[in-house]
Amino acid sequence: MLDSPELAALRQRLEEEEAVYASLLAAVDALAGFPLPYERRPELSGQLLALNEACRPAPRPDGGGLSGRLRQRAWDAVAPALEQQARFNSLLVQVLNGFVDESAKLYAHLRDLTAATLRHTQRLLPVMDARDRVATALATTRAELILEAFDRRQEALGRRLEGLLALRARVAAMGEEVGALRRSLETHAPAPAVAAAAVRAADDSTYAAFEGCFRGSREEIRARLADYVPAFQAQAPVVDLGCGRGEFLELLREAGVAARGVEGNLHVVQDDVARGLDVVHGDLLAFLEAQPEGALGGVFAAQVAEHLPPPVLQRMLQQAHRTLRAGGLMVLETVNPRSVIGLLEVFNRDLTHERPLHPDTLSFLASAVGFTEVRIELRSPVDAASRLQPVPVEGLPERAAEALNENIARLNALLYGPQEYALFARR
């Protein structure tokens, strides 16, 4: 790295710039020493004084005697010409005085300006050195901040790993309980429907624990879903497909919007009903097919579409369009597959996910069944501290720094784009 061609070229460029700076400093220093007109021509002051004395008009001669009167007559004859010449001489001397005086002031100003420029130029090099030292310090500080961000992320991953290990132990314990239950059921030979219901209840409990560990607390989910409430303010009645723990139903109830949920996890449904929410246990597609045409004002589903096989997803979109009245709103929130971290940290964690849905694909499917005003809204941005940080431009060629930071921005958009998106569509 220290002997790279780029570093050698940068050092050569620095030496060339320092040589140009030294020659410029010498040239400005030489210019600052030029003499003023009065310093170069000391006799100029005396010559101007003699010129001012010489331009004064001669007095009229005395008129005593014949010769005196003749001189006066001659003087009077030529006096107009002499007065005109005297005015000309006076104006010429004034112009010369003003020109010489202003020239002297100009030369003095130029010398002061050159001296100030020299003093400023002499200060440039220390300022540049100080700037380089500050840039180095900033680069060190930025590197420390990046390392600190990585440390925080490592601690967060450690806590997440601890939660995963705890969940793994809990799932293993539940597996043992399910195995014991199955053996007990086989021993007592209950009806097949009863045995299947018992196994399903155990599976529902396990998935509820999984969501509680990785999806977030009830308060976190409420905060994330609160932005959707204004869109459904005038859309009652609203159906929340796959309503889970009922956070969105609670928000709609608090906003005075009539809403109902459908959920396939019996364990979660029982908890929702115990909290006073209108939630039914069943299949979301069967629920929609049982609704009259145009009976609903809104259909909402958060983190549900990615669980559905393509034929079921298309059928759900058709039934949502059928059951919504004119102007009704459908909102589907799902994982953003255009974000690498969204795929790795969100989609791949849940084994029940069917396949990621590209925003263009889901938009096309909604439009194909008749929805209008279809649009995509990106959600859940990645924390800035977890993204790739731009490099400092100090000490690097301008174009190289721009290209490097442009590539970092592109990588951030690909790797750390918003983790989720929501599709909005009107009936």
pLDDT digits over 119-132, tens only? 766 666 666 666 66
Among 38-42, 118-122, 382-386, name the most confident range. Answer: 382-386
A 10 A CB-CB count for 201 gives 16
pLDDT digits (tens, 9 = 90+) for 386-411: 777 787 777 667 777 777 778 878 87
Alpha-carbon span 269 to 246, nearest angstrom: 9
Name 204's Cβ contacts closer than 8 Å, sequence gap at least 6. 265, 266, 267, 268
Between CA 332 and CA 311 the distance in angstroms is 17
Q: Which residues of 301-323 are buried (b: 16+ CB within 10 A; e: fewer)?
A: bbbbbbbbeeeebebbbbbbbbb
Could you give the 3-state DSSP secondary structure of residue 340? helix
Residue 197 scores a pLDDT above 60: no
For the chain, which residues make up each domain, given as ranges?
5-139, 218-426
What is the model's pTM? 0.51
Backbone angle region of 286, left / alpha / beta, with phi > 0 → left and psi within -120 to 50 → alpha? alpha
Supply the DSSP string of 180-242, one letter for each residue. Answer: HHHHHHHHH---HHHHHHHHHHHHHHHHHHHHHHHT--HHHHHHHHGGGGGGGTT--SEEEET
- Nearest by Cα to 341 from 249, 424, 411: 411
Query: For 236-263, how does the pLDDT look when each residue is reduced to its tens digit (9 = 90+)?
Result: 999 999 999 999 999 999 999 999 999 9
Give me the architecture of the 218-426 domain, per CATH: 3-Layer(aba) Sandwich (3.40)
214 or 26: which carries more pLDDT confidence? 26
Of the candidate ranges 5-9, 144-148, 366-370, the one whose mean pLDDT is the lowest = 144-148
**Residue 283 φ/ψ, nearest 5 degrees:** -85, 135
